Amino acid sequence: MSSWLTRNRKINEARTLKRPSLSSLLFEDVEDDIKKAANSGPAAVRKLADDYPDKQELKTALQGDHDNVADDDNVGISGEESLAVDGFIPTQNEIDLMKSVAFPLGGHQALKAMVTSKTSTAPGAISVAGNEVLDGHHRWSGVWGIVGPKGKISVQDMGFKGDTNKKLAAAQLAIAAYKPADLKQPSADDPIPYNILGKEKDTIKKMILDNVGKQTDKKAPGPLLNDEMLKACADDSEIAAWAGFKVGDSTDKVRDAIADTVANNLSTLPSNPNAPARADMPQFDHETLGDKKTVKSAIYAGLDAGKFNVNKPFDAKDKKEESLKKSDKLVMERWLRLAGLTKG
């Protein structure tokens, strides 16, 4: 009797199991590759996007409806909120001095606006995931450098979960899903000559003084700590109180005091031991993608709507229940490519 019951139970269990969908079987290899890359981090996702032999197949598998699971890829980007910069850590391992403070240190009014408002004066929000900055590191570090760790900045939370590597991998997957299939994954591996992250105050101060008179930011009101700016600052009591000089001091003393204050603030920036190499950081606004604001807005909208397959499961077979949302057209296209009847 017991053997009969066991056999009968197994038969009933077998009847309840759903067969893998045809589309899941067709894309099994790419799904496995996506899972491995996502679990490994942003470097693996960038390599996958660049090296995968059938890039159109990869792009198809990175679309939000591919896994047949509704809503799992809606990352839920929040509205803008003004928060203190010391509530966040970077996901980069390098931050450029000039991109951080060249604008406020290029003009008296630009500096005064940040000093008095105690917040970023740049429009728009930076992107974070939990307590980690994903995009907007230089605006974040700029506020920290001028205002200090309690300075405020507008943020939007992208809702990615997991550790640093998982968040950045999801961001890379979103970019790979959005970009043209044959376009190389955007990367910024140009060297940063004045990296301030992890540097001591004296080192950063020397960097600032070494760059006096240079204007690397075309939008900055003038060259870094230029004489005209310093003369105006010398007569400003609020700037004097912030930097620690006396109203009417010489431009040399004003320059030294401002450099000292900013260097001291920047030396307290936190680091992230899990931050990847610069080349593996997601680039939401890379020039190769097109107009920066348009592209970034489109990627964020796609993430918010769940259009990109950035969260587990990456395939339908990872769920007990399958949906029939996968179109017959997608399956047929895959079969035709396997048979060599179509290209791309």
Q: What is the DSSP string of 239-271?
A: HHHHHT--TT--HHHHHHHHHHHHHHHHTT---
Q: What is the pLDDT of residue 13?
A: 45
- Residue ranges per structural domain of the chain: 81-162+188-280
pLDDT value of residue 5: 47
Q: Compute CA 270 distance to the chain's CA centroid, rounded to the nearest angstrom.
A: 17
Pair 238, 115: CB distance under 8 Å: yes
According to the model, what pLDDT value does residue 21 have? 43
The β-bridge partners of 84 are 152
pTM: 0.82
- Using the 8-state DSSP alphabet, how is residue 195 labeled? B
What pLDDT is stored for residue 322 in this prediction?
39
Q: Which residues pair with 89 in a beta bridge?
A: 132
The confidence score (pLDDT) of residue 79 equals 85
* pLDDT for residue 198: 94
Calculate the dihedral angle through the C-alpha atoms of 74, 79, 84, 90, rounding to the nearest 10 degrees.
30
**Amino acid 258: pLDDT:** 98
Bridge pairing between strands 89-90 and 81-84:
unpaired
What pLDDT score was predicted for residue 292?
84
| Residue 72: per-residue pLDDT | 64
pLDDT tens-digit profile, the chain (344 residues): 444 444 445 444 444 433 444 444 455 688 889 999 999 999 999 999 999 999 999 998 898 777 666 666 677 778 899 999 999 999 999 999 999 999 999 999 999 999 999 999 988 899 999 999 999 999 999 999 999 999 999 999 988 889 999 999 999 999 999 999 999 999 987 788 899 999 999 999 999 999 999 999 899 999 999 999 999 999 999 999 999 999 999 999 999 999 999 999 999 999 999 999 889 999 988 889 888 889 888 988 888 888 888 877 776 555 444 344 444 555 566 656 666 665 55
pLDDT of residue 64: 74
- Residue 285 phi, psi dihedral angles, 5° rounding: -125, 35
pLDDT in the model for residue 321: 41
Residue 191: the pLDDT is: 81
Write b or e for each residue in 313-341: b if 16 or more Cβ atoms lie within 10 A of its Cβ, otherwise e: bbbbbeeeebeeebeeebbebbeebeeee
